[in-house]
Amino acid sequence: MKQTTVGVIGAGRIGRMHTENLVHHIPEATVKAVASPHLDQDWAEGLGIPIRSIDNSVVLGDPEIEAVVITAPSGLHCELIHQAAAAGKHVFCEKPLAFEPGAIEDVLQAADRAGIILQVGFNRRSDPSLLDLVETVREGRVGDVHTVRVTNRDPKAPPIDFVKRSGGIFLDFLIHDFDTIRYLSGSEIVEVYATGGVLIDPEIGAAGDIDTAMVTVRLANGALAVIDASRQAVYGYDQRFEVFGSGGSVAVNNTTPSMSVVSTTAGVVGRTPHDGFVSRYRDAFIAELRGFLAAVRGDAPVVAGAGDALAAVRAAVAARESFNQNRPIRLVEVPVAAGGGTRA
């Protein structure tokens, strides 16, 4: 198989994870360069990455690099995509591409003009269980879709510093759920109603965000969906999905790192779910990058494109407005005009 030469921009937690996956688990990729302002040189050297820098131009200016993995902070995503597109490099970018629909519309158009592949990091679309679920729905085994349910609970509330620059729970956290609903239902979100509260940490409220949210969604095909989300489930990363329809239902429950069950007089105790997204979606993170590389080679369609990113962000913005105004918001109320963003 043809190898694709890849550069990575941003080596924070998720950047390091993607880089390690590329090096250890994805033989069709060669990581030539990694750039990050606080780069851990030892880590990068240990992975055998030849070019290691705090300067992004070593990635963007290298003609040999065909594809860029952007895992820089969210606020830099759009500008980096524009630069990569201008350099003719294919882009895999972590979510969210931007907090404003207009900025995403801009990068979508730039990617189209440059003729590059642009994939967004909606990792759940590459999870084996969710792939199975969606195939079951597409095969018609649950009939017409009536309701979609997503439970999304993190094991531990993030630090307040993160909350402050996260874009808020709807854009940072539920963004995955909006994409999942579109993915599982095969339909578009037309209306959302969001409610929520600060039930875990008052500091999150003081930072202007909420930590517990519930969103009801109406889809274009008539189906309904509901998301319940929490920033902290003490028992672990709670990720459950269900599609219910005229022919039955299909569900994905939590996976656990160990399947052991201890039965004693005190009760029957199984292991808790994974302790976070890195372990829960380990296979999905590898598969999404392999999917991206397949799209770069022209072997497969993009798993999640800028259009998907735009749709999810519009739903998230609508949910945020719904929560702020305490009324249902139709997505047509969320402007999409290009140029409305914060292009530097």
Partner 1 sequence: MRTITVGVLGAGRIGRLHADNLLRMPGVRVKSIADPYADFGAWPPEHIETGLDPSLVLDDPEIEAVLICSPTPTHAPFTEAAAAAGKHIFCEKPIDLDPDRIRRTLEVVDAAGVKLQVGFNRRFDPTFSRVRQAVVDGDVGDIHIVKITSRDPEAPPVEYVESSGGIFLDMTIHDFDMVRYLTGSEVEEVHAMGAVLINPAIGEAGDVDTAVTTLKMASGALAVIENSRQAVYGYDQRVEVFGSKGSAEAGNETANRVTLSAGDGIRSDTPLYFFLERYQASFVAELEAFFASVRDDRDPPVGGRDGLMSVLIGLAAAQSMAENRPVRVEAL
- A 10 A CB-CB count for 198 gives 16
- If the CB atoms of residues 49 and 145 are measured against partner 1, the closer one turns out to be 145
The identity of residue 221, as a single letter, is N
The identity of residue 291, as a single letter, is G
Q: Three-state SS string across 259-297, please? A: CCEEEECCEEEECCCCCCHHHHCHHHHHHHHHHHHHHHC
- If the CB atoms of residues 89 and 146 are measured against partner 1, the closer one turns out to be 146
β-pair partners for 189: 219
Name the minimum Å distance from CB 216 to partner 1.
Answer: 5
Task: Give residues with Cβ within 8 angstroms of 228, minimum separation 6.
Answer: 150, 151, 152, 153, 213, 214
Name the minimum Å distance from CB 251 to partner 1.
Answer: 11
- If the CB atoms of residues 109 and 249 are measured against partner 1, the closer one turns out to be 249
Name the minimum Å distance from CB 222 to partner 1.
Answer: 5
Name the minimum Å distance from CB 111 to partner 1.
Answer: 35
- If the CB atoms of residues 6 and 148 are measured against partner 1, the closer one turns out to be 148
Name the minimum Å distance from CB 171 to partner 1.
Answer: 19
- If the CB atoms of residues 5 and 216 are measured against partner 1, the closer one turns out to be 216
Name the minimum Å distance from CB 197 to partner 1.
Answer: 5
Query: What b/e sequence results for 119-132 when a residue is b if at least 16 CB atoms lie within 10 Å of its CB, and e otherwise?
Result: bbbbbbbbbebbbe
- If the CB atoms of residues 264 and 326 are measured against partner 1, the closer one turns out to be 326
Binding residues (CB under 8 A) for partner 1: these are 143-144, 146-147, 149, 151, 153, 191, 193, 195-197, 199-200, 212-214, 216, 218, 222-226, 228, 230, 232-235, 238, 244, 246-249, 326-328
Dihedral of alpha carbons 119, 123, 127, 129, sign: negative
Structure tokens at 315: 């739903």
